[in-house]
Amino acid sequence: ASAYTQTGPSSVTILSGGAMIDSSAFNLNGGALRGTGTIDGPLTATTANATTIAPGASPGTITINGNTILGGSNTLAMEIGGLAAGIDYDLLDVNGELTLGGLLNLTFINGFWPLIGDQFDIVTTNAAVLGTFTNVANGGFLQDTDGFHTFSVHYGAGSAYNPNNVTLLAITPEPSRTLLLMLGAASLMLRRRRRS
């Protein structure tokens, strides 16, 4: 149960099949933490070097039993492929206090397309959520990495949902509605051109 320190930009720790790392502290000083399993101790991602936390193997859950700090150079990379946490979409479950920092990246998998109002609790904690993502504040809007979906993102003391979670709310129309909106806009532009 001594401290576990990972360094180097290409270093990767992969939790497989629910594996557990029992450490007094997990220091993510470079590289990535991926997979499904448990860190039995606090985790700190450095602000000095680029790091990535990516739960699951498309998708899955990383559980951290301890206070967790995401540094300013960290990326929390989450995949969404359905509505069930840890089964259809990635989940970071923190048993302790969570301090946010760095980027939140969202990627869709398995051809999934959310409906307006679909809710995803991508991070859960049993204590306070502090800090902020550098690319989206509480109540702000964030697109997935392909630019097809937009979410409102909620976390921390001012959250419209559970302040101990990071919650996504889908606000992008499903494909059929998007097509109808585009056809409607095109029709309106054609009418305006004919009048002029």
pLDDT at residue 7 greater than cutoff 80:
yes
Span 24-42, pLDDT tens digits: 999 999 999 999 999 999 9
Six-digit token string for 101? 């920092």
Six-digit token string for 119? 């809710």
Residue 184 is predicted with a pLDDT of 65
Bridge partners of 20?
A: 38
Q: What is the pTM of this model?
A: 0.87
Span 68-121, pLDDT tens digits: 999 999 999 999 999 999 999 999 999 999 999 999 999 999 999 999 999 999
Q: Are 97 and 127 in contact (CB under 8 A)?
A: yes
